[in-house]
């Protein structure tokens, strides 16, 4: 029997995989909409969305159709050539945003790597070698490459990998005074998530982002928004910067962009993009026809009044019920976030126990997420049906009841 045909089980993970993950005890094998089935046939409701990736749920017909059609045409040619799906997708992203140029890659980390390299190259070309400092926020998360993990403001991810990349400063999130004190004429970029995702589903204050924009303008620095987690409709707008009305110079997108197929993008203006001349940056798979065809289908579905308006309605439904559960069972004190990126902040009695709640929910047939040890995160499909919201939150309430009665 070949490897492809051999039966596998969760225990195989510990035998064949690098142990940098600790996956759940079950293996999902099939999904439809907001429902998932594991190897035993058990059904779960998915409020995790593959960590804010499955923007249209599982096996959405528009995405399946786009992938199938493209799979019968062209899979890969590299960037030695261009391709039609990449050009169509770029046009649609540019038409829908502030951007004038797009760069495609495969992951949020790669999109941020490109953004940070672009920011430093622009500053180098315009002002010289001393303008290279990047300011980011504490508790931010921008990826796992050495560059992006150093820009991210969580030392637990960057420690232990040798000397750190220099020229990076971290300041408290939503603290405009601290940001102002840190920015100087050596600053080439300020990098912010409009909503901190891994840092606890913490939205930025409007005045903070407005102030960041003004500081960047005053110091010839670029404002970079990491919208890897907040982009493609998750906030109720196509991108969260539209909610705030603060326009960045560079924006990164991934996760929901492909609805489950790996793809990412860096979006920027023509004036900035011209600094990445031929040979300065690249990727073999970026702009892959399969990925771009799927992402084009995603934006066609998501960037509509029906879906974006529905996100805001579904947010209100989630928030009202979660606040009731939090009050009734005394698990969390605050429900925050935008659209369908929602965080429940655990109270003092439950601080550090997000994993326990994650496990209890799974036992009730519900897939959720953590955002650190103190926040429960929900990132469901943007088109999750009301009946699935009700059923999933019923399961969450049963988990809360069992935990607090124990």
pLDDT (tens digit, 9 = 90+) per residue, 85-119? 999 999 999 999 999 999 999 999 999 999 999 99
* pLDDT (average), residues 44-55: 98
Count other Cβ atoms within 10 Å, centred on residue 117: 16
pLDDT band at 6 (very low <50, low <70, confident <90, very high): confident
Q: What is the pLDDT of residue 342?
A: 98
Contact (Cβ atoms closer than 8 angstroms) between residue 37 and residue 31: yes
- Residues 6+ away with beta carbon under 8 Å from 285: 76, 105, 106, 291
Q: What is the pLDDT of residue 2?
A: 46
Is 361 flagged in the annotation as binding?
no
Is 313 flagged in the annotation as binding?
no
Q: Look at 5-14, 186-195, 244-253, 310-319 and tell me which has the smallest mean pLDDT.
A: 5-14
Is 229 flagged in the annotation as binding?
yes
* pLDDT (average), residues 286-303: 98
* pLDDT (average), residues 283-309: 97
Contact (Cβ atoms closer than 8 angstroms) between residue 55 and residue 259: yes
Q: What is the pLDDT of residue 331?
A: 94
Is 277 flagged in the annotation as binding?
no
pLDDT tens, position by position, 319-337? 999 999 999 999 999 999 9
Q: What is the pLDDT of residue 1?
A: 38
* pLDDT (average), residues 339-343: 98
Is 226 flagged in the annotation as binding?
yes
Is 90 flagged in the annotation as binding?
no
* pLDDT (average), residues 249-263: 98
pLDDT band at 379 (very low <50, low <70, confident <90, very high): very high
Q: Does residue 313 have a pLDDT over 50?
A: yes
Q: Write the burial class of residue 135 (CB in 10 Å: 0-12 exposed, 13-18 middle, 19+ buried).
A: buried
Q: Does residue 53 have a pLDDT over 50?
A: yes
Is 82 flagged in the annotation as binding?
no
Q: What is the pLDDT of residue 49?
A: 97
* pLDDT (average), residues 206-214: 98
* pLDDT (average), residues 186-213: 97
Q: What is the pLDDT of residue 406?
A: 56
For the chain, the average pLDDT equals 96
Question: Please, what is the angle between helix 386-405 and helix 354-363, to 10°?
Answer: 120
Is 108 flagged in the annotation as binding?
yes
Contact (Cβ atoms closer than 8 angstroms) between residue 371 and residue 199: yes
Sort residue 330 into left (φ over 0), alpha (ψ -120 to 50) or beta.
Answer: left
Cα–Cα distances (Å) from 240 to 97, 170, 225, 232, 262, in that order, read 11, 22, 9, 9, 21
Q: What is the pLDDT of residue 55?
A: 98
Using CA atoms, how far apart are residues 212 and 362, in angstroms rounded to an integer?
40
- Residues 6+ away with beta carbon under 8 Å from 140: 151, 152, 153, 154, 170, 173, 191, 192, 193, 196, 199, 226
Q: What is the pLDDT of residue 4?
A: 57
């Amino acid at each position: 029997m070949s490897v492809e045909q051999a039966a596998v089980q969760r225990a195989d993970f510990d035998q064949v995989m690098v142990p940098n993950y600790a996956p759940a005890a079950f293996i999902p094998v099939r999904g439809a909409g907001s429902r998932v089935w594991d190897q035993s046939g058990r059904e779960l409701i998915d409020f995790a969305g593959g960590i804010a990736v499955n923007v249209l749920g599982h096996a959405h017909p528009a995405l399946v159709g786009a992938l199938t059609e493209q799979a019968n045409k062209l899979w890969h040619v590299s960037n030695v050539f261009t391709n039609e799906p990449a050009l169509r997708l770029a046009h649609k992203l540019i038409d829908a945003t502030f951007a004038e140029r797009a760069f495609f890659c495969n992951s949020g980390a790669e999109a941020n790597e490109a953004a940070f390299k672009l920011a430093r190259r622009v500053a180098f070309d315009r002002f010289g070698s001393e303008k290279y400092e990047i300011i980011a926020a504490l508790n931010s998360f921008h990826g796992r490459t050495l560059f992006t993990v150093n820009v991210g403001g969580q030392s637990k991810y960057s420690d232990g990998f040798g000397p750190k990349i220099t020229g990076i400063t971290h300041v408290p999130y939503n603290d405009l005074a601290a940001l102002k004190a840190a920015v100087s004429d050596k600053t080439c970029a300020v990098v912010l998530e409009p909503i901190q995702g891994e840092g606890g589903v913490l939205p930025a204050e409007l005045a903070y982002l407005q102030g960041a924009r003004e500081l960047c303008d005053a110091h010839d620095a670029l404002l970079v928004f990491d919208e890897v987690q907040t982009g493609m409709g998750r906030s109720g707008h196509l991108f969260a910067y539209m909610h705030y009305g603060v326009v960045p110079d560079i924006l990164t997108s991934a996760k929901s962009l492909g609805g489950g197929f790996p793809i990412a993008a860096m979006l920027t203006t023509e004036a900035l993009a011209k600094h990445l001349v031929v040979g300065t940056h690249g990727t073999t798979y970026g702009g892959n026809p399969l990925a771009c065809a799927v992402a084009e289908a995603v934006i066609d579905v998501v960037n509509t009044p029906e879906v974006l308006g529905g996100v805001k309605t579904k947010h209100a439904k989630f928030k009202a019920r979660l606040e009731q559960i939090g009050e009734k069972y005394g698990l969390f004190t605050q429900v925050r976030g935008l659209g369908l990126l929602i965080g429940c902040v655990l109270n003092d009695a439950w601080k550090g126990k997000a994993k326990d709640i994650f496990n209890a929910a799974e036992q009730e047939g519900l897939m959720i997420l953590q955002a650190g040890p103190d926040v429960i995160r929900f990132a469901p499909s943007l088109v999750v049906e009301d009946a699935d919201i009700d059923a999933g939150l019923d399961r969450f309430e049963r988990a809360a009841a069992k935990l607090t009665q124990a």
